[in-house]
A and B are shown apart, each in its own frame.
Chain A
């Protein structure tokens, strides 16, 4: 696929910004795939082990009522990112996004939770409760830890292996097949959208008015929908042609290696300890 990264920013009109955004999306996905094929610690583990362990860490963090335990699990996440050679700069946008999102939800608790006052907001007179700060911090930290583990999993495992691992651990086959097809065809549609915008751009002179830009966007969405409908029909025919009759049969060929046998008990100890101390 021609998912070539556009390295120069072309800020300007609506079309240029749209092309930049599409190219960036393609670039990010390619970068994640490259990291997943790298030689870090997690990249060498069986995807099933990673999937189950990450899920365990997330449950552990989400279930913990103890702030130091959540901080310890966050340190595990950072350590795993480090030994898996995931640059922190690629995690930063995720952390900032999650901080804003969870902060909006947790923020009011700082003032609304009853408890000893830590400070008063000038002019507004709102009391900052120490219990409120603690519960907001806990919520934000849990969210950050969960998203970090999810991103680490996706960045150290090709998406196709994540899907296979999901199948092995019992996620319904049809759900995984739909996820796989979505992932696979989103690239085609993105490429198609990018090509369409570039073709339009080559025929647009000057700056588009907001109304024209909106018309252009809605027309493009319409064409893309129509194309995706055609594509899904053709794909279904291609599947039928090779014997697909509604049931999905898959090959699962993961094998546990020495690294996995070392990682499993370590992960188990961390998860069980986290859950145990998290409740204390």
Chain B
């Protein structure tokens, strides 16, 4: 498998913050790989996705996408920008940010319009995408009037219509009810055999084994672990240190006792005591 993205020693700083958002980040994402980026809030996951989507540019280090440097200079070129935007899609964490068009139909058609597809092709593609996501009945609704789950479907439809090679998802199940969460996970699982490269930033450990076959754990902007999801999820001490699980305090026969506690499936799993 060839590398879609190669990051070499990336550093990114936000203005007026002492801590870098990302530091010393080096990684490769291969074609067809499903990668989970795990980390607590503020660990740099969203910043990493924005760098992969060419929205932010690192202060130092290099990013290569599809064998070419991904930098501001390259993205100024019309041909390169169109090709890149066509191949890489980003589903933002907050659908309210992503849904800025007056109707669901316009929202889904926005990407193809920017790619200057002809209108008949757009009409066909929008109809097919709405049908695939089972949201045809929402086509004339205003996106901001939809429920959280419906918004997320529209957000996914709005990027899937371009049939991108890479899909970046930022906390796709955050703030969704269980039914909508399961719908999103089903989509991600369904894409497993599509050959698409899928990078998901999440701190929802429940879903990771289903949606990824490679995983990174980020802490304070740096990679602290890289392994298969199964191996990482077995390392409770690492998860506890990365704030991905919380310590569970209780008493055994009157003796105070604490150990990592996290939720996998519907069972509360307790590891051996600390």
Which residues of A are found within 8 Å of B82, using beta-carbon distances? 243
Residue in A159, A239, A245, A250 whose CB lies within 8 Å of B100? A239
Interface: A184 (CB within 8 A): yes
Complex alpha-carbon distance, A231 and B144, angstroms: 14
Instruction: Tell me whether B102 and A184 are in contact (CB under 8 A).
Output: yes
The residues in A between 220 and 249 inclusive whose CB is less than 8 angstroms from any CB of B are 231, 234-235, 237-245, 249
User: B101, B103, B116: which has the most chain A beta carbons within 10 Å?
Assistant: B101
Interface: A1 (CB within 8 A): yes
Instruction: Tell me whether B97 and A180 are in contact (CB under 8 A).
Output: no
Interface: A164 (CB within 8 A): yes
Instruction: Tell me whether A242 and B97 are in contact (CB under 8 A).
Output: no
Instruction: Tell me whether A235 and B85 are in contact (CB under 8 A).
Output: no
Complex alpha-carbon distance, A250 and B50, angstroms: 26
Which residues of A are found within 8 Å of B85, using beta-carbon distances? 241-243
Residue in B116, B158, B159, B162 whose CB lies within 8 Å of A249? B116
Instruction: Tell me whether A231 and B106 are in contact (CB under 8 A).
Output: no
Instruction: Tell me whether B55 and A241 are in contact (CB under 8 A).
Output: yes
Instruction: Tell me whether B116 and A184 are in contact (CB under 8 A).
Output: no
Instruction: Tell me whether B102 and A164 are in contact (CB under 8 A).
Output: yes
Instruction: Tell me whether A237 and B55 are in contact (CB under 8 A).
Output: yes
Q: A188-B144, A234-B92, A238-B98 are in contact. Are A245 and B119 (CB under 8 A)?
A: no
Nearest CB to that of B93 among chain A residues? A234
Instruction: Tell me whether B142 and A160 are in contact (CB under 8 A).
Output: yes
Complex alpha-carbon distance, A90 and B122, angstroms: 40
The residues in B between 111 and 139 inclusive whose CB is less than 8 angstroms from any CB of A are 111, 113-116, 119, 122
Instruction: Tell me whether A235 and B97 are in contact (CB under 8 A).
Output: yes
- Interface 1/0s, chain A 165-193, versus B by CB < 8 A? 00000000000000011001101100000
Instruction: Tell me whether B97 and A243 are in contact (CB under 8 A).
Output: no
Residue tally, chain B, CB below 8 Å to A: 36
The residues in A between 130 and 183 inclusive whose CB is less than 8 angstroms from any CB of B are 158-160, 163-164, 180-181
Which residues of B are found within 8 Å of A158, using beta-carbon distances? 142
Instruction: Tell me whether B158 and A243 are in contact (CB under 8 A).
Output: no
Which residues of B are found within 8 Å of A187, using beta-carbon distances? 144
Instruction: Tell me whether B53 and A241 are in contact (CB under 8 A).
Output: yes
Which residues of A are found within 8 Å of B144, using beta-carbon distances? 1, 184, 187-188
Instruction: Tell me whether B119 and A251 are in contact (CB under 8 A).
Output: yes
Which residues of A are found within 8 Å of B145, using beta-carbon distances? 1, 3, 33
Q: A164-B102, A241-B85 are in contact. Are A231 and B114 (CB under 8 A)?
A: no
A158 to chain B, nearest CB (A): 8
Instruction: Tell me whether B86 and A243 are in contact (CB under 8 A).
Output: yes
A122 to chain B, nearest CB (A): 56
Instruction: Tell me whether A241 and B109 are in contact (CB under 8 A).
Output: no
Interface: B96 (CB within 8 A): yes
B172 to chain A, nearest CB (A): 15
User: A160, A163, A185, A242: which has the most chain B beta carbons within 10 Å?
Assistant: A242
- Interface 1/0s, chain A 7-41, versus B by CB < 8 A? 00000000000000000000000000100000000
A28 to chain B, nearest CB (A): 15
Residue in A163, A180, A235, A240 whose CB lies within 8 Å of B55? A240
Interface: B191 (CB within 8 A): no
User: A1, A184, A241, A249: which has the most chain B beta carbons within 10 Å?
Assistant: A241
Nearest CB to that of A158 among chain B residues? B142
Residue in A188, A242, A245 whose CB lies within 8 Å of B158? A242
Q: Which residues of A contact B (CB under 8 A)?
A: 1, 3, 33, 158-160, 163-164, 180-181, 184-185, 187-188, 231, 234-235, 237-245, 249-251
Beyond A231-B96, A231-B97, A242-B111: 7 further Cβ-contacts under 8 Å? A234-B92, A235-B97, A241-B55, A241-B85, A241-B89, A242-B159, A249-B113
A–B pairs, 30, beta carbons within 8 Å: A3-B145, A33-B142, A33-B145, A163-B102, A164-B102, A184-B102, A184-B144, A188-B144, A231-B96, A231-B97, A234-B92, A235-B97, A237-B50, A237-B55, A237-B97, A238-B92, A239-B100, A241-B55, A241-B89, A242-B158, A243-B81, A243-B82, A243-B85, A243-B111, A244-B114, A245-B114, A249-B116, A250-B106, A251-B113, A251-B119
